Amino acid sequence: MNRREALSSVALLLGGTIIGGEVFLAGCKAPDKKIAMAGLNFSPDDISFLDEVGETIIPATTTPGAKEAKIGEFMRTIVNDCYEEKEQKIFLDGMQKLDDACKTKNGKAFLDCDAQQRHDFLVALDQEAKDYQKKKGEFDKLQDDKAAAEKSKGNTAFQREDMPAHYFTMVKQLTLWGYFTSEVGATKALRYIAVPGRYEGCIPYKKGDKAWAT
């Protein structure tokens, strides 16, 4: 599976554009002017925190979970190498917002919660993010319409406003992206056949079979 196929698969799961995807496809080398915060320091505690959040999103069952895929390390790499400065700030601030929101809901930090509390909290947070992204989509369309109207008038100085992504959308995207493109995700959670290999245009499928990684 190449880079473009990996991103397309995750985008299909999430139903949207993958943040940082364009830079990743270009080779994870963003222009310096966009990544002014590159080289961010994620502490071991930060990585552990992201591992636990990712594990709650994709827990270990009969197959390994996100933690075994080293999802925290993956998030650090993508945020450092592929996010723009404004996106990096949203992600970093979002880690603290997530923990603060958990304290408000459960009376304790995310890492102090049991598995069920973590699950219920992230389900509610995911819905919040989905509602926010819906509003963002409406806002972005309005901005596109304004930009088109100003362009038709010959106004090239129109400043388009942006509504930032929700921090949990970033975390969830990176979890799915990192997990299903990792070795454990591709070979144990999905079905995998090393390629290149022979072409088979029709392969039997039974209800309940794992999806294909390749």
Spatial separation of the C-alpha atoms in residues 178 and 45, rounded to whole Å: 19
Tens of pLDDT along 134-149?
Answer: 999 899 899 999 999 9
pLDDT at 82 over 70: yes
| pLDDT value of position 112 | 98
CA distances from 73 to 44, 97, 179, 185, 213 (A): 10, 20, 11, 15, 21
Spatial separation of the C-alpha atoms in residues 200 and 161, rounded to whole Å: 48
Spatial separation of the C-alpha atoms in residues 25 and 10, rounded to whole Å: 14
Torsion, Cα of 28, 34, 37, 39 (10° steps): 20
Q: What percent of the chain has pLDDT over 70?
A: 67
More confident call, 139 vs 26: 139
- Report the candidate in 109, 75, 67, 107 with the shortest Cα–Cα distance to residue 92: 75
87: enclosing H helix or E strand:
helix 85-106
> 79 near 95, Cβ under 8 Å?
no
More confident call, 106 vs 29: 106
User: CA angle, corner 202, sides to 196 and 203, nearest 5?
Assistant: 80
Q: What percent of the chain has pLDDT over 90?
A: 46
| pLDDT value of position 46 | 96
What number is the average pLDDT over the span 88-106?
96
What number is the average pLDDT over the span 94-123?
97
